[in-house]
C-alpha cells in the first residue's frame, strides 16, 4: 500500500538520521582537537620523557592489572557458570557493583578500606598501595575484574558441560578436564576478556587518581597525564595524550572485532 511504503521510508530516514547525528557527534569530539593541534610540537611532545613515562607506566599497570583480573575472573566465572549454591544470585549481584559504581566512588572505598585496622595492617606489613604505582594496579584491577567475570561467565555458559563429562568418563579428573578441555575451548574468549579489560584499565582515571594521586613522574598514567596537562593549561600535551588513547582504542577495537568475527559471535 502507498501509505505503508511512505511510512516505511519516513522510518528509514528517521533511524538513519539519528545514527548519522550520533556518528557526527563523536567525530566532532575527536576532530575538535584540531584547533589545538600543532605538527611542529606534536612529535617533540610525543617523544618527550614525560609522555614516554606516562605511556610506559600505563602499559605496565594495565597489563599487570588485566593479568591479575583475568586470573581471578577465570575460576570465579567458572564457579558462577557451573555450580549451583545458596546465595549465587546475591554473589553475582555483588560482583556487578564495580561495573555500575562510579570509579571515583570505588577509589574512595579503597581509600576508606586502607584507613581501617585491616587496611592499615596490610599497608604497614605487606604492600603500600596508597599514593604508589601498586595503588594504580589495585584501582585498575578493582574496576576491571567484574567486567572480566561477566565476559568469561558468558564464555563458560556457551561451552557445553557435556565435553567435561565425556573427559571425566574417560578417566580425567575435574581439574584435568578443566585445564585440558574447557580452557582450550575458551581460549579466544579469555583473549577477548584480556583485551577488553586491558583497554578499560588503560583508560581508567577516577579510581586511580583517588588511590594513587596525580603525581608527575610517579603516578601519571595517560588519563592522569591528561588531567595534569589540563590543570596546567598545557593543551598541546593533552592533545598528544588523547591522540595516543584514541589510537590504542581503535587498534584494540579492530583486534576485538576480528576475534568476534572469527568466532561468529554477535555483540
Kindly report, residue by residue over 141-164, the tens digit of the pLDDT.
Answer: 999 999 999 999 999 998 888 888
Query: Could you write out the DSSP letters of every residue in the chain?
Result: -HHHHHHHHHHHHHHHHHHHHHHHHHHHHHHGGGGG--HHHHHHHHTSHHHHHHHHHHHHHHHHHHHHHHHHHHHHHHHHHH---TTHHHHHHHHHHHHHS-HHHHHHHHHHHTTSHHHHHHHHHT---TTSHHHHHHHHHHHHHHHHHHHHHHHHHTS-THHHHHHHHTT--HHHHIIIIIHHHTHHHHHHHHHHHHHHHHT--HHHHHHH---TTTT--HHHHHHHHHHTT-HHHHHHHHHHHHHHHHHHHHHHHHHHHHHT---
pLDDT tens per residue across span 94-112: 998 888 888 899 999 999 9
pLDDT value of position 265:
55
pLDDT value of position 247:
86
Q: Which residues contact 246 (CB under 8 A, 6 or more apart)?
A: 30
Residue 36's CB is within 10 A of a number of other CB atoms, namely: 12
Q: How far apart are CA 189 and CA 208, in angstroms?
A: 27
Residues of the chain with pLDDT under 70: 1-3, 260, 262-267
Q: How far is CA 146 from the centre of its chain?
A: 10
Instruction: Dig out the grid coordinates for 64 from the structure.
Output: 599487570
Provide the whole-model pTM: 0.85
pLDDT value of position 264:
60
pLDDT value of position 235:
82
Amino acid at each position: 500500500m502507498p501509505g505503508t511504503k511512505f511510512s516505511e521510508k519516513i522510518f528509514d530516514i528517521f533511524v538513519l538520521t539519528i545514527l548519522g547525528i550520533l556518528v557526527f557527534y563523536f567525530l566532532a569530539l575527536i576532530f575538535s582537537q584540531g584547533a589545538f593541534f600543532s605538527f611542529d610540537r606534536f612529535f617533540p611532545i610525543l617523544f618527550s620523557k614525560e609522555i614516554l613515562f606516562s605511556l610506559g607506566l600505563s602499559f605496565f599497570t594495565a597489563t599487570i592489572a588485566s593479568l591479575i583480573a583475568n586470573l581471578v575472573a577465570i575460576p570465579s566465572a567458572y564457579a558462577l557458570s557451573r555450580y549451583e549454591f545458596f546465595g549465587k544470585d546475591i554473589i553475582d549481584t555483588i560482583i556487578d557493583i564495580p561495573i555500575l559504581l562510579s570509579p571515583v566512588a570505588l577509589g574512595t572505598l579503597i581509600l576508606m578500606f586502607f584507613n581501617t585496622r585491616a587496611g592499615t595492617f596490610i599497608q604497614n606489613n605487606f604492600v603500600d598501595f596508597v599514593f604508589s604505582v601498586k595503588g594504580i594496579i589495585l584501582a585498575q584491577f578493582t574496576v576491571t575484574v567484574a567486567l572480566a567475570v561477566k565476559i568469561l561467565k558468558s564464555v563458560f555458559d556457551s561451552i557445553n558441560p557435556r565435553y567435561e563429562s565425556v573427559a571425566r568418563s574417560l578417566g580425567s579428573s575435574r581439574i584435568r578436564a578443566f585445564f585440558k578441555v574447557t580452557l582450550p575451548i575458551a581460549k579466544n574468549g579469555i583473549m577477548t576478556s584480556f583485551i577488553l579489560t586491558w583497554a578499560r584499565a588503560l583508560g581508567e582515571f577516577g579510581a586511580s587518581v583517588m588511590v594513587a594521586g596525580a603525581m608527575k613522574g610517579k603516578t601519571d598514567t595517560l588519563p592522569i597525564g591528561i588531567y595534569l596537562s589540563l590543570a596546567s593549561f598545557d593543551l598541546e600535551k593533552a592533545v598528544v595524550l588523547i591522540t595516543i588513547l584514541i589510537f590504542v582504542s581503535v587498534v584494540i577495537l579492530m583486534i576485538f572485532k576480528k576475534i568476534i568475527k572469527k568466532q561468529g559471535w554477535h555483540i
